[in-house]
Homo-oligomer: A and B are copies of this chain.
Amino acid sequence: MGKSSNLKTAALEKSSHLEYFKIAVSVDCVIFGYEDKELKVLLIKSDLKEFAGMYSLLGDLVRPDEDLDEASYRILKERTDLDDVFLQQVHTFGTINRHPSGRVVSTAYYSLVNINNHKLKINHNDLRWHSVKSVYKLAFDHKEILTTCLAHLRGQIEEHPVVHNLLNEKFSLRELQEVYEAVLNTPLDRRNFRKKITLKNWLVDLNEMEDNVSHRPGKLYRFKPKVIKNNKLA
């Protein structure tokens, strides 16, 4: 047993420091989007022969000269070409055998992006959006990571205005409710939903009406800038 908790000392107990650098550090991003009243997730076909034909999350090894958070931004930017996107760390997965090529400890981040506001970079490996509901199996432990991040997202939308990342700037209350229903995978009562949102005081009434709908148009709203700003900090 170590005589101290200290990194330096602990490393010296081993015959060689090298032993401790046999673990790779990676980041996996669960990038959620919203389209056609469904919650989507961005997946790519795995390169590994062990997972031939299977999809995986977007991830990469962390470079020695970048922060963990920076690494997740890099991955997101490489794929979606979006800056200034919502991204939050969720959990770190570190079982011994989670990666077939070697020991890899991976920190999962979740992100929310507006699918309509950007194009995916042209990419190999069939990079595309999948309905979250339709995802049954993924390479590595990525299904578990997805499940963990989805649960985290569901907890967050109750208290935090994160869904603004999934919507256009202007939206009707129906559109907002549909996002909540898609994320929570449950129908919501319209009157109660509106009451709840009103109480939170997140929105500004734009005094504009929906357009291009084949029924009575609803009023348009947007999130208050202050609300969005505070959320970014948290």
Contact = CB atoms under 8 A, between A and B. Distances in A.
Interface string A68-100: 110000010011000000000101111110010
Contact of A79 (B5, B19, B89, B94): B5
Nearest to A29: B5
A42 B19 CA distance: 28
Contacts of A189: none
Contacts of A123: 3-4
Contact of A25 (B6, B25, B44): B25
List the number of copies, as a whole number: 2
B79 A95 contact: no
A66 to B, nearest CB: 7
A189 B61 CA distance: 51
A124 interface: yes
A92 B92 contact: yes
A67 interface: yes
A149 to B, nearest CB: 14
Interface string A106-117: 010000000000
Contacts of A99: 7
A47 B91 contact: no
A103 interface: yes
Among A44, A46, A75, max chain B CB count under 10 A is at: A46
A68 B92 contact: yes
A62 B59 CA distance: 22
Nearest to A121: B1
A59 B7 contact: yes
19 contacts: A2-B60, A4-B44, A5-B44, A5-B60, A5-B79, A5-B125, A6-B59, A8-B47, A10-B61, A20-B63, A21-B22, A21-B24, A22-B64, A25-B25, A64-B103, A66-B96, A89-B92, A92-B92, A92-B107
Which 9 pairs across A and B sit closest by C-beta, in order of nearness?
A68-B94, A6-B47, A5-B58, A22-B64, A92-B92, A23-B25, A21-B21, A20-B61, A10-B60
